[in-house]
Amino acid sequence: MRSKVRNLCKTAFILTAILGSASVSMGINTNQAHADGKTPSKIDSKTPFPDGTKQGLLLSPDTEDTPVSVNYTGDSAKNVTLKTIKAGGGTYASFNQKYGSQLASFSMATGDSELKGISFTAQYGVVGKTTSGDPVTAKVEISNMQRALSWQNGNINSSVYSPGIEFSNNLYNGFDTKGIQSMDFKITFTDQKTNKDIEFNKDAYISWNSLNPNATNPYGNGHAVEAVAYLNNDGNNDSYVTKDSVIEQYKSPIDSSLTLTGGSKTPNQSYDDVVAEDAIGAAGFDKHSVSYLLTGTTQEFSINSFNPSSFNASPVLSKSNGQDYWFAPSTATVFTPTPDKPSKKVVDPDTKADMDKQQVKDGQKLQYQVSQKVGYLGQDTLERYTAMDWKDKLPAQFTYKSAYLVDEKGNKVTESTFKTDKTDKTNSTNKASDSSSSSSSSSSSNSSSSNSSSSDNSKTTDWAGTATFDKATNTVDYSASADFLKAMPMNGETYTLVIDGVVDSGGKASTLTNTGDVIIDGNSQETNTVTDNTVPPTASKLSKTVTDTSGKTGTTGNVEAGKDYSYTLTADITDKYAINSLDISDPLASVQEYKGATVTSDGKDVTSDGTLNFDKSTNTVDWKAKTPKDFSGKKLLMKITVQLNKDADLSKYIGTDGKISIPNVATLDVDGSKTPSNPTSVTPPTVKPTAHKFVQLTGDTPDSTGTDSDSTSDSTDNNSSSSSDSNNSSSNDTSESKDSDNSSSNDTSESKNSDTFSSSNSNSDSNASSSTKTSNSDSTSTK
């Protein structure tokens, strides 16, 4: 069972098991006739195990390099030589070079009778495990050996094909034989935990693969024709081949009582015409295979490799080498095992925190991850996958952004992912290397990233595959590329489809439910279900208070000109996840002077986390958050310190009750949605006027102050007359029209007049003139 490419791990002997009960080893009749008496059942390619069963025993390609213990009996002529070969020094290149081996060589003088009397027993350490995880050991027995024609005729090249058998320390790597055309092969598996042999009852399969036909090899010589027979149960065993198999049944050319199943014996058949590449994992590799349903404890087979001349081949095809062949056990059959069930997660793409069954918000980023573990080429499957698709119908409340494939390290799968050290040629050491997150820049088909979209669909192609999004159904489908399927090691590694998007429930309470599917070669399996819950975001609120010059806080306050007082804006920010803009603004009255502002959150000054600005032209103070989303669900307190201008014109703030009230309303703007605060107002102090009445007698003269009597009389008239001219119209104007630019409240006018007359009747002309001017002045109305 030789591979065209010797460095590929070509499996000749494969075991697949569903563990039965353990028992004492059963004896086997080694001279059974009619072996393989039943015709193999033909199955379609990619057929899963009957009833969905899977392997119960897995042989490991990565066991400890514990030397196999090889013993032999029946060598009376001392023709056997045992030699230990260290790791990396094997004579057969297809062996995994990290394992050593034991080489049993025969003397060229060994005859047929002597060779048939020699038997080998090879005891292995742990070769794999049961489905429950218990370690399994194995014992191999080889007997009834018969020399190949090249050895019998003495024309074997002993320097290259010295007769013998090489046992790898790892059972998975198998055996290399030279100069032997037929042997009986027994294998017994033992549960190390119970120390009992494992008995099978039609719940396991042993397969023989790479059964080469009678055809020309790449070197122009004939391939040895390889064939097997299952000797248990008197040959009355169920066996399976693919419908397009290239092997057949025929009688053994050295034992007519033995029916064999193997490569075609028809001579002159060109090897290259056989549509089944002889390399593990290649398309059609299972066409060279047959799988047997097992019974009993010890499994016995006849293994054969015949010179083409045994089937009347032409002289050219008879130029076979020393009839060396390699057979190796691993757990795989002509059936295609059902892959492990895929799994699904939903995470925060930034923190990678698990978001399953969590509360999420509109605008929040979510990432769905659909993970699929692939099979192990040569261990549980013989061929590579021909198709691999991820399909995910996304929740209606999830807006799709992108989809791409990552490896087990979370790196995006690119062509460079699989550019590994090729020193070890077997499946066991192929591991994906670290890869960057960027797509491959290769210009070959499917190597470069491209995008196309329509109103309802979008398609993105990179080296690993193509992601297609159907907007109408909110479904993403990722189809692996042929390049990816060919390049992935298939060592049981896991690949994950990453789907990025954003929550959008329209502000409603809802549940996001998601389940995906992975379809491998037409076999679809569903993932587990993940859920998230949305609730409507809280509304933003803005409240406002004023702390007046006396230190009292409320929605109204009394203030004095020239003294500090402050507004406090309390902003409760919506807890929606994504906030793009956040602005708190307060247009101050023109009679107020801005002194400064601070913004705090949770007792911490966060003024510098935004941009604080004062616009003199509009007398507006404004604070814009630099990173708005940082304040989602937070409370902000903005304190604005102001003063009332000393010379302010307050006439337009006089109410119908004749009192002054300066209003203020602030605004909170979150993503364009504006929320006004409650109104506040401040009032400056008002001094009530005092009337002074006196009678001037005829002939009285001014007092000693020297005040001009005309001025005094004018002043007196101004305050006593109810129908004065324009210079004395302040009181009347106030009561008749508060819109007058030169009017102030009666109280204010009277207060100023009262102040004038309370000083002295003997004031100078200048004082009288000043009093008149003040009563008509806007700038001093707050005094």
DSSP state of 98: T
Residue 564 is encoded by which pair of tokens?
């500090």
Q: Among candidates 9, 18, 328, 281, which has minimal Cα distance to 175?
A: 328
| Cβ neighbour number for residue 455 with a 10 Å cutoff | 7
Query: What does the pLDDT read at residue 498?
Result: 99
- Rounded CA gap, 334 and 529, in Å? 33
Query: What does the pLDDT read at residue 317?
Result: 52
Q: Which residue has the higher pLDDT, 635 or 332?
A: 635
Confidence of residue 4 (pLDDT cuts 50, 70, 90): very low
Highest mean pLDDT among 25-39, 215-229, 276-290, 557-571: 557-571
Q: Which of 149-158, 253-262, 494-503 has the lowest mean pLDDT?
A: 149-158
Q: How far is CA 238 from CA 18, 36, 38, 289, 332, in A?
A: 16, 9, 7, 14, 17
Distance of CA 779 to the CA centre of its chain: 69
Q: Which of 64-78, 518-532, 698-712, 763-777 has the lowest mean pLDDT?
A: 763-777
Q: Which of 271-280, 374-383, 580-589, 664-673 has the lowest mean pLDDT?
A: 271-280
User: Which tens digits make up the pLDDT trace of 108-128?
Assistant: 889 989 999 999 999 999 998
Label residue 605 exposed, middle or buried (CB < 10 Å: 0-12, 13-18, 19+): exposed
Q: What is the mean pLDDT of the chain?
A: 79
CA dihedral 166, 332, 261, 147 (to 10 degrees): 0
- Contact indicator for 548, 558 with CB cutoff of 8 Å: yes
For 622-642, what is the mean pLDDT? 97
Q: Which of 285-294, 568-577, 630-639 has the lowest mean pLDDT?
A: 285-294
Residue carrying structure tokens 């060279």: 288
All residues at 6 or more sequence positions from 527 whose CB lies less than 8 Å from its CB, including other chains: 341, 342, 343, 344, 370, 515, 516, 517, 518
For 476-499, what is the mean pLDDT? 96
Query: What does the pLDDT read at residue 307?
Result: 81
Task: Give residue 10's identity as a one-letter amino acid code.
Answer: K
- Rounded CA gap, 609 and 588, in Å? 23
Query: What does the pLDDT read at residue 147?
Result: 92
Query: What does the pLDDT read at residue 525?
Result: 96
Helix (H, G, I), strand (E, B) or coil at 334: coil
- Rounded CA gap, 210 and 554, in Å? 92
- Rounded CA gap, 107 and 703, in Å? 157
Q: Among candidates 610, 520, 525, 628, which has minimal Cα distance to 574?
A: 628
Q: Which residue has the higher pLDDT, 701 or 128?
A: 128
Q: For residue 628, is pLDDT > 60?
A: yes
Q: Could you tell me how many residues make up the chain?
A: 783
Highest mean pLDDT among 25-39, 152-166, 406-420: 406-420
What φ, ψ does residue 487 adopt, rounded to 5°? Answer: -90, -30
- Contact indicator for 253, 198 with CB cutoff of 8 Å: no
Residue 440 is encoded by which pair of tokens?
């491959």
Q: β-strands 239-242, 41-43: how paired?
A: parallel
Query: What does the pLDDT read at residue 23?
Result: 35
Q: Among candidates 660, 645, 765, 781, which has minimal Cα distance to 714?
A: 765
Q: Which of 137-146, 176-185, 550-559, 628-637 has the lowest mean pLDDT?
A: 176-185
All residues at 6 or more sequence positions from 105 whose CB lies less than 8 Å from its CB, including other chains: 80, 81, 83, 162, 163, 164
User: Which tens digits make up the pLDDT trace of 272-300?
Assistant: 454 555 667 777 788 888 998 888 899 99
Domains present along the chain, CATH in parentheses: 57-330 (2.60.530), 343-417+456-534 (2.60.40.740), 541-683 (2.60.40.740)
Q: Among candidates 320, 266, 265, which has minimal Cα distance to 152?
A: 320
What φ, ψ does residue 773 adopt, rounded to 5°? Answer: -65, -40
Distance of CA 67 to the CA centre of its chain: 42
Q: Which residue has the higher pLDDT, 228 or 727?
A: 228
All residues at 6 or more sequence positions from 783 whose CB lies less than 8 Å from its CB, including other chains: 561, 646
Helix (H, G, I), strand (E, B) or coil at 769: helix
Confidence of residue 508 (pLDDT cuts 50, 70, 90): very high
Strand partners, 215: 269
Confidence of residue 34 (pLDDT cuts 50, 70, 90): low
Q: Among candidates 173, 127, 500, which has minimal Cα distance to 329?
A: 173
- Rounded CA gap, 391 and 520, in Å? 11
- Rounded CA gap, 126 and 62, in Å? 10
Residue 448 is encoded by which pair of tokens?
């470069």
Residue 628 gets the label, from left (phi > 0), alpha (psi -120 to 50) or beta, of alpha
Q: How far is CA 769 from CA 657, 719, 774, in A?
A: 30, 13, 9
Residue 601 is encoded by which pair of tokens?
């959150």
Residue carrying structure tokens 């030169």: 742
Task: Give residue 487's identity as a one-letter amino acid code.
Answer: A
User: Long-range contacts: 549-557, Cβ < 8 Å, 24+?
Assistant: 555/678, 555/679, 555/680, 555/681, 556/661, 556/680, 556/681, 556/682, 556/683, 557/680, 557/681, 557/682, 557/683
Helix (H, G, I), strand (E, B) or coil at 373: strand
Task: Give residue 29's identity as a one-letter amino acid code.
Answer: N
- Rounded CA gap, 422 and 418, in Å? 10
pTM, full prediction: 0.70
- Contact indicator for 92, 102 with CB cutoff of 8 Å: no
- Rounded CA gap, 213 and 223, in Å? 7
- Rounded CA gap, 776 and 496, in Å? 83
Q: Among candidates 365, 333, 354, 672, which has minimal Cα distance to 502?
A: 365
Q: For residue 163, is pLDDT > 80?
A: yes
Residue 509 is encoded by which pair of tokens?
């309470």
Q: Which residue has the higher pLDDT, 255 or 484?
A: 484
Rg (CA), the chain: 49
Q: What angle do CA 378, 384, 389 make, to 5 degrees?
A: 135
Percent of the chain's residues with pLDDT above 90: 48
Q: Which residue has the higher pLDDT, 62 or 298?
A: 298
